[in-house]
Chain A
Amino acid sequence: DTAVSQTPKYLVTQMGNDKSIKCEQNLGHDTMYWYKQDSKKFLKIMFSYNNKELIINETVPNRFSPKSPDKAHLNLHINSLELGDSAVYFCASSQDVGNYGYTFGSGTRLTVV
């Protein structure tokens, strides 16, 4: 059983398109996150939801919009994709606001051409 699953694993798209990445966790965790890992492998937090409520919203272009329909799901929608959006996007989940660390999904490699 996959604990945190993301789809799709790879996404290649043209500039200007709109795309979504989906994430689901079956760990019963209350908090979910989106992180972006750039080409230098630096992981940076984007958003966090706790029980469907947005609790962390970093300085991210408003072309990025997270949505959490329930505490087991957190999706990321990106409008008007730009070349600089190319990266690996990781979903993660945690119990107790991350005091015991996160469990990461397998990542979505987004390439904008």
Chain B
Amino acid sequence: QKEVEQNSGPLSVPEGAIASLNCTYSDRGSQSFFWYRQYSGKSPELIMFIYSNGDKEDGRFTAQLNKASQYVSLLIRDSQPSDSATYLCAVNIGNTGKLIFGQGTTLQVKP
């Protein structure tokens, strides 16, 4: 089992819709969780982090964490074509600073 798993997609949504990106992780001791966005040919950019169970909102982005189910998700409301990118889920394993990344989900927002 991979430590961090994501569906590679592509996930295609129409402009204005809600995009839902999902991630599961294997280490129950993980404490911090991150979502990065990576445009083609660019470096990953941190967009959200979450530590506690529940929802955390920042503008059009909402991160959701369920530690019992070992599940993290990212919702993007009012999706825009500029949101088209690969979204990487990352988990801080054992609080060591070692971020383990999923393989990423490619999101396509169609005008």
On A, residues with C-beta under 8 Å from B are 31, 33, 40-45, 48, 50, 55-56, 90, 94, 97-107
Contacts and interface: CB of A to CB of B under 8 A. Distances in A.
Contacts, number: 60
For A41, A44, A100, A103, the residue with the greatest tally of chain B CB atoms inside 10 Å of its CB is A41
Interface of B: 31-32, 34, 36, 38, 42-46, 49, 86, 88, 90, 92, 95-101, 103-104
B43 A104 contact: yes
B33 to A, nearest CB: 10
B96 A97 contact: yes
A92 to B, nearest CB: 8
Nearest to B86: A41
Contacts of B88: 43
A19 B9 CA distance: 35
